[in-house]
Amino acid sequence: MNRLFKIFCLAMTVLVALFVVVALCNILAGSPSETIRALKNPAMRPVLIVSLETSLTAAALAMILGTPVAYVLARRNFPAKAVVETVLDLPVALPPMVAGLALLVLVSPSSPFGHALEKVGIHLIFTKAGIVLAQVFVALPFYIRAVRSAIAAIPPSIPAAASLLRATEAYTFFHVILPLSREGLVSGFVMCWTRALGEFGATAMVAGCIPGVTETLPIAIYTRATAGDLTFAGAAAFCLALVSFATLIGLRLLFSESDERRKA
Amino acid sequence: MIRLEHLEKRFGERTVLRDLSLDIPRGQFAILFGPSGVGKTLLLSILAGLEPPTAGRVILDGRDMERVPPERRPVTMVFQRHALFPHLSVFENVAFSLRARGFHGASVRQRVAELLTLTGLETFADLRPGVLSGGQCQRVAFARALASDAEIILFDEPLNSLDRDLRALLMSELKRLHRARNFTALYVTHSVKEAVELGDRVYLLKDGHVPHTCEPREMEKHICTCEHPAEEHFSP
């Protein structure tokens, strides 16, 4: 029985790994030379630039907005904290299309908020700024979760010691909390960035698909594949998969190095 | 000096400290003695401002500490598990309080060098706490506390995790530092040996208040009246 169980577990591991590899191998719809040609296609450049610009901006914004939020959630107790945490986590559970629709209604000129934004010259519908908004909305919870866990893992005696050494809360935050949460900040930024890079539903709802302006990699995959250009779609998908793969490897290396440092 | 007036701390229905009053004069090395779980560390946290009392007053150097945050109190603390900053070198750990108060450059270097010499840590200045022994870490914690220029230093069983020889060595170093700097110390312990070696006066914490204070050499008499065995480390 025990032996059978071991064989079953091993077989399932091999099967699942094979399934992932075979599925990923089919990303490339064309031959390698066709894929390289598609990657060199002048239409691919603006797609890559828009994707990188918007996703990196979204990750940077998430870092600025999410770090204080993660700090408050990790270090403070306040009434209705569980409700606040659930609300902040909601975009993870929400279907992206629903999130996109909510954002579209919020920033459309017919809503009071959207009207106020238009008045001060901020246009979010069908613009890169709209893409960033959608990406921040969807990816921010991933950043907050990672950083919150990192901050919560710092023993309470460390910030207490800092305050008893005359450091203000702000000084402790910048000189103790942030350096000690460095791994969480890095992994949060990377997870947030990859989530933003792969964002499709909410982005499509808010920013649509204007080639060269709001066409990101996931949108390009969808529009080109539905138009029958599988080679271009495959090349765009290859770019996304490459980023995901490099991110996973990078994070693994980062954490295995820090684990070894800790053991030493 | 430290003055506590009718201090009380409750957690829901459970009262841990009740009607606790005491006076510790300036410069005294006071021992807060009692078994585990009696509220010794909690009392230090209240003094430090890390935990608010349910009732009563904390008066430090003549000032009522109600609503005074930890960083503005004339108090610092040496923790049982050191609580050193693992990302900073020994030098930067000791310099932390000086930099937090806006000191820079040569004044910091000079002050830290003096404290590292005083605690015998000159050769460890560039090392991180992760590579130091328990005794060395505790020395860094002493130096760091002295750098804060606090009038009052609270010690939360700082020698508890160390072996007997190292404890004896650090006790004599602590006595030397106290003589050199003349700070007011409140030292929490459940070790009779530490209390007798270090203390000017012993405050016995029992049932949430301090029923007895005594000279360290009279301790055994009071511990007997408290029905505790007078061994080196007594258990509740």
Least confident interval from A49-58, B64-73, B193-202, B209-218: B209-218
Distance between CA B149 and CA B168 in Å, rounded? 26
CB-count burial class (<10 Å; 0-12, 13-18, 19+) for A145: buried
- As given in the structure block, the two tokens for residue A122 are 């901020």
Residue A244 has a pLDDT of 81
**pTM, entire model:** 0.84
User: Cβ distance A164 to A205 under 8 Å?
Assistant: no
Residue of B nearest to A157 (CA): B83
Residue of B nearest to A263 (CA): B130
A179 touches chain B (CB under 8 A): yes
- What are the residues whose beta carbons fall under 8 Å from the beta carbon of B168, sequence distance 6 or more? none
Among B77, B81, B86, beta carbon nearest to A164: B77
Among B71, B75, B81, beta carbon nearest to A167: B71
Spatial CA neighbour of B125 closest among B100, B96, B174, B91: B91
Structural domains in chain A, CATH included, are: 32-259 (1.10.3720.10)
Question: How do B184-189 and B55-60 pair as beta strands?
Answer: unpaired
Structural domains in chain B, CATH included, are: 2-74+150-225 (3.40.50.300)
| Largest separation between any pair of C-alpha atoms in chain B | 55
Contact B70 A163 (CB under 8 A): yes
Question: How do B2-11 and B14-24 pair as beta strands?
Answer: antiparallel
- What are the residues whose beta carbons fall under 8 Å from the beta carbon of B65, sequence distance 6 or more? B49, B57, B58, B59, B73
Contact B50 A160 (CB under 8 A): yes
Q: Is the pLDDT of residue B32 over 90?
A: yes
The alpha carbon of residue B18 is apart from the nearest alpha carbon of chain A, in Å, by 25
Q: Is the pLDDT of residue B229 over 70?
A: no
Question: How do B2-11 and B55-60 pair as beta strands?
Answer: antiparallel
Chain B residues lying within 8 Å of A164, measured CB to CB: 48, 50, 70-71, 73, 75-77, 148, 150
B100 touches chain A (CB under 8 A): yes
A260 touches chain B (CB under 8 A): no
* First CA to last CA distance, chain A: 41
Chain A residues lying within 8 Å of B77, measured CB to CB: 160-161, 164
Distance between CA A189 and CA A89 in Å, rounded? 17
A258 touches chain B (CB under 8 A): no
The per-residue b/e assignment along A243-253, b for 16 or more CB within 10 angstroms, e otherwise, is: beeebeeebee
* H, E, C per residue of A6-73: HHHHHHHHHHHHHHHHHHHHCCCCCCHHHHHHHHHCCCHHHHHHHHHHHHHHHHHHHHHHHHHHHHHH
Distance between CA B232 and CA B224 in Å, rounded? 14
Q: What is the pLDDT along chain A (264 residues), one digit of tens a residue?
A: 788 999 999 999 999 999 988 877 777 666 777 778 878 888 888 999 999 999 999 999 999 999 999 999 999 999 899 999 999 999 888 899 999 999 999 999 889 998 999 889 888 989 999 999 999 999 999 999 999 999 999 999 999 999 999 999 999 999 999 999 999 999 999 999 999 999 999 999 999 888 888 999 999 999 988 998 888 888 888 888 888 888 888 877 877 766 665 555
Residue spans of beta strands (DSSP E) within B34-165: 55-60, 63-64, 75-78, 152-156
Contact A160 B83 (CB under 8 A): yes
- What are the residues whose beta carbons fall under 8 Å from the beta carbon of A62, sequence distance 6 or more? A136, A139, A140, A143, A188, A189, A192, A196
To test the contact with chain B by mutation, choose from A77, A154, A166 the residue with the greatest count of B C-beta atoms within 10 A, namely A166
Spatial CA neighbour of A73 closest among A88, A61, A62: A88
* Whole-number average pLDDT of chain B: 89
Helix, strand, coil abundance in chain B, percent, nearest 5: 40, 30, 35
Per residue in B64-101, pLDDT tens? 999 999 999 999 999 988 899 999 999 999 999 999 99
Contact A167 B77 (CB under 8 A): no
A166 touches chain B (CB under 8 A): yes
Chain B residues lying within 8 Å of A155, measured CB to CB: 81, 83
Among B73, B79, B101, beta carbon nearest to A161: B79
The complex scores an ipTM of: 0.88
- What are the residues whose beta carbons fall under 8 Å from the beta carbon of B198, sequence distance 6 or more? B29, B31, B171, B174, B175, B187
B41 touches chain A (CB under 8 A): no
Among A157, A164, A168, beta carbon nearest to B75: A164
